[in-house]
Amino acid sequence: MMLNKVKEVPGGKVDEPDVTLLHAAARELKEETGLTAKKVVRKVTEMEWTEFGGKRGRKTDWLKHIFEIEVEGLEDLALAETEHQSFLWATEEEVLQDKVGEVQLTYITPPNKDIKLEAFRKNRNVEPRAN
């Protein structure tokens, strides 16, 4: 997904009606992309940071959980205009090269690229399930 020309995966925060963290992830995915979460495949990673700001210069600690989610309804993909400007699909090699076709990949912060690469790595290293 693209917001102000940087690449970012859909995301957000837990809101009052969310029963669990996974419910929040599914809701944010639906709100931002129109896609329906079919299954949470795995937790990819998490990242922590602290922000200072706001009206009173408050300190806010953040913990972001990143999940790989299987979706249904790719034909229903519709970006929330206030959240994202466009989308693209990228392979691991394209993320490594910071380029998809003619589109240069730019990230909000360097860890955002690392998160995408970690998702590819975990996907590669998953043992197939026995039937």
Please check whether residue 120 lies inside any domain of the structure.
no
Please check whether residue 115 lies inside any domain of the structure.
no
User: What is the share, in percent, of the chain residues with pLDDT greater than 90?
Assistant: 46
Please check whether residue 15 lies inside any domain of the structure.
yes
Angle at 34 between CA 30 and CA 38, to 5 degrees: 60
Using pLDDT thresholds of 50, 70 and 90, give the confidence band for residue 6. low
Angle at 19 between CA 13 and CA 21, to 5 degrees: 40
**Residues written for the chain:** 131
Rounded-to-integer distance, Cα 104 and Cα 108, Å: 13
State the total domains in the chain.
1
The tens digit of pLDDT for each residue in 109-118 reads 888 899 999 9
Residue 10, domain CATH: 3.90.79.10
Rounded-to-integer distance, Cα 118 and Cα 39, Å: 19
Please check whether residue 52 lies inside any domain of the structure.
yes
Please check whether residue 94 lies inside any domain of the structure.
no
Please check whether residue 82 lies inside any domain of the structure.
yes
pTM above 0.75, yes or no: yes
Instruction: Assess whether pLDDT exceeds 90 at residue 94.
Output: yes
Please check whether residue 130 lies inside any domain of the structure.
no
For 67, the domain range is 2-88
The tens digit of pLDDT for each residue in 15-52 reads 999 999 999 999 999 988 889 999 999 999 998 989 88
Residue with tokens 């970012």: 8
Please check whether residue 44 lies inside any domain of the structure.
yes
